[in-house]
Amino acid sequence: MSRPLLHLTVAAVLYFQGRYLLVEEKDKSSDRLVLNQPAGHVEENEDLISAVKRELQEETGLSLEPSAWLGISQLKAANGHFYVRVNFVFTPDELPALYQPQDTDILALHWLSLEELRSHVLPARSQLVLDAISQFEQKQLLPLCQIRNAITHSL
């Protein structure tokens, strides 16, 4: 029996002035437009915080520091792949006047409240999007110092 493919991903829950920043993208598996947090795969030799900052910058043009994390979410997709998603919180005091996606797969940026997201014409990419925002709204924040980076040693 083959094992499901495991994907380690990160996502940015960016909250500013009562709204969340979501990216509009095409879900390649279903060919439909969806809303997602800026998110993506962790690359080889990349730590989690560097990965989420890179994804945020690529998908929104914003260069920000995370303020907390929301823990780990997991999803078994219809294709049999298993996704482990580490969600980070960004709560900037201000944003630059101009910013735009660097990634051509991002079609638009949307600032939405949770209620606006729930009733939006475009669906959330997965339940993970709504779950992360709900966790944030319930103040289930974890300090970044709980993520430890191990020093690489030769064995």
Best CA proximity match to 51, nearest among 70, 61, 38: 38
Best CA proximity match to 22, nearest among 40, 38, 41: 38
Mean pLDDT for the chain overall: 91
Instruction: Please check whether residue 101 is in contact with residue 12, taking contact to mean a CB–CB distance below 8 angstroms.
Output: no
Rounded Cα distance between 106 and 134, Å, is: 24
Query: Per the structure block, which two tokens stand in for 93?
Result: 């005091």
Q: State how beta strands 82-90 and 6-16 pair.
A: parallel
87-112 tens-digit pLDDT: 999 999 999 999 999 999 999 999 99
116-153 tens-digit pLDDT: 999 999 999 999 999 999 999 999 899 998 887 654 54
36-58 tens-digit pLDDT: 999 999 999 999 999 999 999 99
Rounded Cα distance between 85 and 73, Å, is: 5
Residue 32 φ then ψ, to 5°: -115, 155
Instruction: Please check whether residue 22 is in contact with residue 117, taking contact to mean a CB–CB distance below 8 angstroms.
Output: yes
Q: Which helix (H) or strand (E) holds 81?
A: none
pLDDT of 20 strictly over 70 = yes
Best CA proximity match to 60, nearest among 27, 32, 31, 90: 90
**Which residues, listed in sequence order, are joined to residue 110 by a DSSP beta bridge?**
22
**pTM score, whole prediction:** 0.90
Rounded Cα distance between 38 and 60, Å, is: 7
